Structures are given as structure tokens and as C-alpha cells.
Amino acid sequence: MSASKTKPSKRHPERGNRALRLVDRYVGIPLSFGLGLLRRKRGRLPEDDVRTAAFLQTAAIGDTVLSSGIIKDFKKTHPHSHITFFTGSSNYEAAGLISGVDTIIKLPIKNPLKALKLIRRSGTFDIWFDLGPWPRFNAALSFFARAKTTVGFQTEGQYRHYPYDVAIKHSPLKHEIDNYRSLLKGIGISDAAALPTLNIDAGPIQKKQIVIHLFPGGSRAYLKEWEESRWVELIALFTDKGYTVFLTGAASDRERASAIKARVPDPDQVFVVAGSLTLRKVAELLSSSQLTISVDTGIMHLASALGCNLISLHGPTSPKRWGPLNNNAIHLYGDRNCSPCINLGFESNCDDPKCMTAISVEEVFAAANRLLHS
């Protein structure tokens, strides 16, 4: 069975919601511009003035995991600062894994007025970072936050940077963690270089145990999927050698994962845990396994931050922009003339992801053997 166009709203109603994106664009752009006219630019804060800081990241597990690196850098420069992290529903659990965050507040993204009230009631901040590269919704929330200085991205074609006191250019040529680091550099933290790290109690490595994450998230998730028949073939190669395979995913992925398990010649060696584990439990499973194989999605970034042996599959997204950052990772890229076609997560309208089908089962299995036997 080939990749199917699953609706991202089944995973999280806020993530990849087309109606929200349309409102964000056609209402958000003029709103951001108007708010920019009202904004009196205050410039940058001296480094020693920061006692309270806020980070706004309203979606995506992977982006939240990557942000753990700059929070570590910020905390190093301002060790006594109190950090508040504002999330949406899709990345709330991920924020709870980040060291250095003192308060986590989940915002109702589909209810902007309620979200704004929560932000206003959360106190005042010396500095406010908006980590979202495209939502105008974030820019509006940043404008109304009780913050002395706001910092956010100026992203080409998104027209959302007007309300910020400090607007930093977002580059499609950098890895996203380097874009995040540029926000810190914009306020004078020039030595930002920490890799993502998470607060997980890692148990001992279980031999002959592999985790496979088959299902990406986002509005163009189907483009990042690998064909189900190839997963079946790959899993069979592992179970034939005595490996136990765990299939992770969201609750909405459980039916498809179970169908894939049923097609494996030795299904007793395959365990479907999609939708049955918290994100922290998934992280613990990853850290105790010999290998993780994942499409480009949040679990891939989670495994990278945990330092797992990791194989990531890329096609419409470039590993230079979104690939794993740990040394014991191998990224496989189905490079084609039309790839990569996704930068921010929603640009491509491709219906035939040949870039993913360019990655062969033999290629993945060979990479797995290099990591398992290194």
C-alpha cells in the first residue's frame, strides 16, 4: 500500500489545520502590519537585565525538541532567569521534557482571545521569544504579551515580523536550530551552540530491540511517508534476525500500524505501541533501544536529542534543514530534481513523492547494520 493522505487534524486539531492557516494568512497579515504601526520599537535589552523570559512555540514536537538547545544556551547566559514556555496542544508534552523550563502554559490555539488572556495573566517578561517562523497568530500574541522586548522571525513571504521589537531574518538555507540560535544572537548571546538535550531517565540498552516510527505529522504528512510494503519488508528482515520491533505513533496511527504488523511473517516479534504511551514513555523506549528508524517528524528529533542510534528518512525535506544532529545518526535522502519541496511545512502540493520511493529497503537495512555493528 502506498502512502495515504491522512488528515493531520486527526492527530491534533490545531496542527496542519487548513482553515486556521487561511485565517492566519488573510486576517493575520493585515493585523500584523497594523500592529507594527502601533509598535514603538524598544531595541535590545542589556544581557544582565533579563530575569524573566518567555518562549512561544505553538506546535510541533520536533521544533520544540530543537528549541531545548537554545534554552540551554539562554540559561547559561542568564542562570537566574525564570523561563516560561507557551505551547499548543500538540507540543505540550514535549515541552515537559526540556531542562531549564520553569513554567509551561498550554494555549488554546483555536481560541485566540482565551490564549491572549492566559498570556496576559502570566505576568510580565523582560524578554519574549517567538520561535514560530510563519504564524501571524504568534506575532499578534507576542505584541499583546506583557513583555519589555519581543524577538521574532522575519520570514520571506510571510509578512509577520512587523510587531516585534527585534526581528531576525529566518533562513531556508540553515538548519532550524541555527535559525533559533540567530534569535539569541539578536540580543547579544553570540556563543549559542548547545545541541538539543532532554530531561529523560535513560535505562539500560535492550539488545535486539528496535523502534520504528512510520508516520509523520503536519499538513503535508503524506509526502514524508515511506510505502507500507517497504516497511513490511524491512521489519521482516529484522524479525528474521531475532529483533523485537516496536511501532510508535499517535492514536490515529494505531490501525495502520496494526495492519502493517499483520503483514509481517513473524508478527509476534512486532509490538504496536502507537497511541498507548506518553511522549516521555516513548522517549524512554527510544533511549533503551539499539536503534531507531524514523521518517522526518518529531520522534526523529526526539531520538536525535537522546543520542540514539538513528536512521532518518528524508525526501521532501532536506536533512540540511531538518536532519538529526547527533553523531551516531545516518540520514538517507531521496534526492530528486524536485526535492526538497518543503521548507516551513506546507509549501508543496506534490501528489507523487518519488523522493521517498527513491529510498530502498536495502539501503535502510545496510545503514541499520552499520549502526548495529559499529
Residue 6 confidence (pLDDT): 41
Grid cell 531520538 is found at 303
pLDDT at 7 over 80: no
DSSP state of 288: T
The CA angle 171-64-342, to the nearest 5 degrees, is 45
Grid cell 502601533 is found at 38
Q: What is the DSSP string of 295-337?
A: ESSHHHHHHHHTT--EEEEESSS-HHHH---STTEEEEE---T
What percentage of the chain reaches a pLDDT higher than 90?
79
| CATH 3.30.70.100 describes domain 10-185 | no
Query: Could you tell me the pTM of the whole model?
Result: 0.92
pLDDT digits (tens, 9 = 90+) for 225-250: 999 999 999 999 999 999 999 999 99
> Which is higher by pLDDT, 22 or 323?
323
Q: Is 218 left (phi over 0), alpha (psi -120 to 50) or beta?
A: left
Same fold, 10-185 and 206-372: yes
Residue 351 confidence (pLDDT): 80
Length of the chain: 374
Residue 345 confidence (pLDDT): 83
Nearest to 250, CA basis, from 12, 88, 60:
12
Query: What is the CATH code for 206-372?
Result: 3.40.50.2000
DSSP state of 346: S
Contact 223, 350 (CB under 8 A): yes
Confidence of residue 256 (pLDDT cuts 50, 70, 90): very high
Residue 201 confidence (pLDDT): 87
CA distance 141 to 56: 9
Write out the three cell numbers for 97.
521534557
CA distance 83 to 99: 10
Residue 218 confidence (pLDDT): 79
User: What is the rounded (10 degree) CA torsion for 112, 118, 119, 122?
Assistant: 180
Residue 38 confidence (pLDDT): 85
Residue 337 confidence (pLDDT): 83
pLDDT digits (tens, 9 = 90+) for 89-148: 999 999 999 999 999 999 999 999 999 999 999 999 999 999 999 999 999 999 999 999
pLDDT at 10 over 80: no
pLDDT digits (tens, 9 = 90+) for 22-51: 788 878 888 898 988 887 766 666 556 789
Grid cell 500500500 is found at 1
Q: At what angle do helices 254-263 and 228-240 cross, to 10 degrees?
A: 60
Q: Residue 349, Cα to own-chain centre: how many angstroms?
A: 21
Q: What is the DSSP string of 96-115?
A: TTBTT--EEEE--TT-HHHH
Residue type, 7: K
Grid cell 518567555 is found at 54
SS3 content of the chain, % helix, strand, coil (to 5): 40, 20, 40
Residue 251 confidence (pLDDT): 96
Nearest to 231, CA basis, from 370, 369, 371, 364:
364
Residue 339 confidence (pLDDT): 86
What percentage of the chain reaches a pLDDT higher than 70?
93
pLDDT at 1 over 80: no
Write out the three cell numbers for 314.
528524508
pLDDT digits (tens, 9 = 90+) for 54-88: 999 999 999 999 999 999 999 999 999 999 999 99
Residue 86 host element (H or E): strand 82-87
Residue 8 confidence (pLDDT): 41
Q: Where are the domains of the chain?
A: 10-185, 206-372
Sign of the dihedral through C-alpha 6, 10, 11, 16: positive
Average pLDDT over residues 208-214: 98
pLDDT at 9 over 50: no
